[in-house]
Amino acid sequence: MALNALKDSPKDPKPWWESAIVYQIYPRSFKDTNGDGVGDLRGILEGLDYLKSLHVGCLWLSPVFPSPMRDFGYDVKDYEGIDPLFGTLEDFDTLLTATHQLGMKLILDLVPNHTSDQHPWFIESRSDRDHDKRDWYVWRDPGMAGAPPNNWLSFFGGPAWTLDSASGQYYLHQFDSTQPELNYRHPAVLEAMLDNIRFWLERGVDGFRIDVIWLLIKDAWLRDEPLNPNWDGSNPHEQLLHIYTADQPEVHQIIRSFRALFDQYGERLIVGEIDLPPENLMAYYGLAGDECQLPFNFSLIHTPFEAQILRQTVRDYEARLPAGAWPNWVLGNHDRPRLATRIGAPKARLAQLLLLTLRGTPTCYYGDELGMLNGSIPKERIKDPQAINQPEVGEWIGRDPQRTPLPWTKGPNRGFAPPGADPWLPVGDETATPSIETQSRDLSSFLHFFRSLSALRQSEAALMKGDYREIAIDHDDIMAYERSFADQRFLIILHFGGTPVTVPLQDPEIPLKLRLSTHPRSIAASLDSPLTLAGYEGVILQYPISPMKGRRP
Ligand code: NOJ
Ligand code: CA
């Protein structure tokens, strides 16, 4: 499949998202400036210099729109405003301008699949079975004996249907019962959502991450979903195979309509949240490159951090990419346990090295640049509806631990909120994750490593946009690959085992230069072959540039 719109051409320079590092900010937990315990837009403004120092090029803000905050902003009651908790539209404009002045982009989080039940559209829809907005949502009569219309399940536990006793009908919601799903089979819904998008594009936002874009349209006949024969008994939502609530063929037309609008404004980005394996994911680039420029690739989230499995994961994803499509990689987000908790602290640096040297746009989750761990949340402070609605499985399914405040300093409230404020989630202590202040002073810190890595990536075309080639090194715990562009060539070697290992380099005659290691090493040191790597060490090595222009040694 050829993606005409994405074709490489010297006259047509690559769009900005092919070189930028994307950084996800969960605004509630970034920085609180007014002392209400919740992060705000002014906090992000104050943090811009820090963000710039990470060499990230695009900030993605989880939702900041007016919301009852039942799902912390993923339940929108007004798509064209800013929740007072976060600030004002004026604060937003100030932030956008300041971000642009620093040479960074800003994208927002669009939640088009569902609204809050407080959104005027739903209030009207619910008010009367004959209201002209009734069909903006998915309403159905009860099934047998008053049961829900079909067997669909909510991600947040229980049926995906709630009975509205006033009208005697059920409405559909795949998340909380306060998040009714819009009906994209009704043309006015799409038009209304396009108007909301236009509002922000006119204001100058550089794009959107689009929430659960692969769920936007459901089976027209609302057929029951089959049982999942491989269900492991843990997450109740996985009892069914989601063949009628997700990834429906009609979704692509909706995404194309979004994209056509974005394209009217120049280089505006759609990052699609799509939790599908690579074989289903690729369709979301669009047959003519006319859907998402970056359909989120969650394969590193689902893959165990072992060298041979990772190698296969990258090979499989790269092999399936349509011609001209640009890859992307993600390690974590606000829905998944923190990287350093999930794979263990020793491997967390390796994972960042992998993320920032693979071919494609990397997305970093706030705090992962510090090696931040999951916070511990006492039962009485659990906030996440996914946990609250499912007390039987809630503790492990809850997402609060990965959403705790960013630790700026060692001081009161770790500098996240003014002294005396009561942060919405516990701030964690310095021994678990040392603060930005502490790590900035320590040359062996995670943060120092991250900054060196992101600086190197952004300064070397081969790392930023070069070709990827797997290198065979005969050791189960080693993954190696080359990145090359014009006459530059880098060799990346990642060692996922815990004990030192000796790696034979392909051609010992060629003097390789060590550009970066996950471990403290003297960068000036010349490299000996065979190369000895410590447990969980990863390195970026550079080949010398051939004296004969354009030729590789
Ligand atoms: C995906 C978001 O990432 C998650 O946080 C949210 O709860 C659901 N979509 C519903 O909007
Ligand atoms: Ca605040």
**Are the C-beta atoms of 294 and 328 separated by less than 8 Å?**
yes
Give residue 550's pLDDT. Answer: 46
Query: What radius of gyration, in Å, describes the C-alpha atoms of the chain?
Result: 24
Give the Å distances, CA to CA, from 335 to 254, 299, 353, 425.
25, 15, 22, 15
State the maximum Cα–Cα separation within the chain, in Å, rounded to a whole number.
81
**Residue for token pair 């080359």:** 482
**Residue for token pair 């394996």:** 277
Nearest-CA residue for ligand 1 atom 3 is 335
Cβ neighbours, 10 Å, residue 534: 17
What is the rounded CA–CA span in Å between residue 553 and residue 548? 9
**Are the C-beta atoms of 129 and 173 separated by less than 8 Å?**
no
Asked whether the CA dihedral 365, 366, 368, 373 is positive or negative, the reply is negative
CA angle, residues 230, 303, 518, in degrees to nearest 5: 160
**Are the C-beta atoms of 298 and 330 separated by less than 8 Å?**
yes
Atom of ligand 1 nearest to the CA of 399: 5
Q: Which two tokens stand for residue 385?
A: 């509806």
What is the rounded CA–CA span in Å between residue 349 and residue 454? 12
Angle between helices 446-459 and 345-357 (to 10 degrees): 10
Parallel, antiparallel or unpaired: strands 105-110 and 139-140: unpaired
**Environment class of 437 (CB within 10 Å of its CB; exposed 0-12, middle 13-18, buried 19+):** middle
pTM > 0.85: yes or no: yes
Q: Which ligand does the CA of 46 lie closest to?
A: 2
Query: What secondary structure letter does DSSP report for 469?
Result: E
Q: Is 135 a residue of the active site?
A: no
Give residue 547's pLDDT. Answer: 60
Catalytic choice (32, 273, 384, 477)? 273
What domains are there in the chain, each with its CATH number? 5-111+297-455 (3.20.20.80), 120-172 (3.90.400.10), 467-542 (2.60.40.1180)
Give residue 545's pLDDT. Answer: 84
Give residue 397's pLDDT. Answer: 85
Strand ranges of the sheet holding 139-140, from the earlier edge strand across to the other edge: 139-140, 169-172, 161-164
**Are the C-beta atoms of 239 and 153 separated by less than 8 Å?**
yes
**Are the C-beta atoms of 506 and 553 separated by less than 8 Å?**
no
Q: Is the CB of 275 under 6 A from ligand 1?
A: no
What is the rounded CA–CA span in Å between residue 38 and residue 86? 8
Q: Which ligand does the CA of 35 lie closest to?
A: 2
Q: Which ligand does the CA of 40 lie closest to?
A: 2
Half-sphere exposure of 237 (CA within 13 A, CB side): 19
Q: Is the CB of 74 under 6 A from ligand 1?
A: yes
Atom of ligand 1 nearest to the CA of 74: 11
Residue at 480: amino acid letter: A
Query: How does pLDDT run along the chain (553 residues), one tens digit per residue?
Result: 444 444 344 455 899 999 999 999 999 999 999 999 999 999 999 999 999 999 999 999 999 999 999 999 999 999 999 999 999 999 999 999 999 999 999 999 999 999 999 999 999 999 999 999 999 999 999 999 999 999 999 999 999 999 999 999 999 999 999 999 999 999 999 999 999 999 999 999 999 999 999 999 999 999 999 999 999 999 999 999 999 999 999 999 999 999 999 999 999 999 999 999 999 999 999 999 999 999 999 999 999 999 999 999 999 999 999 999 999 999 999 999 999 999 999 999 999 999 999 999 999 999 999 999 999 999 999 999 999 999 888 777 899 999 999 999 999 999 999 999 999 999 999 999 999 999 999 999 999 999 999 999 999 999 999 999 999 998 999 999 999 999 999 999 999 999 999 998 777 788 899 999 999 876 655 576 678 999 999 999 999 987 655 444 4
> Ligand 1: distance of its center to the CA of 111 in Å?
8
Q: Is 318 a residue of the active site?
A: no
CA angle, residues 272, 53, 413, in degrees to nearest 5: 85
Catalytic choice (211, 247, 290, 291)? 211
**Residue for token pair 């929740």:** 83
**Residue for token pair 């165990």:** 304
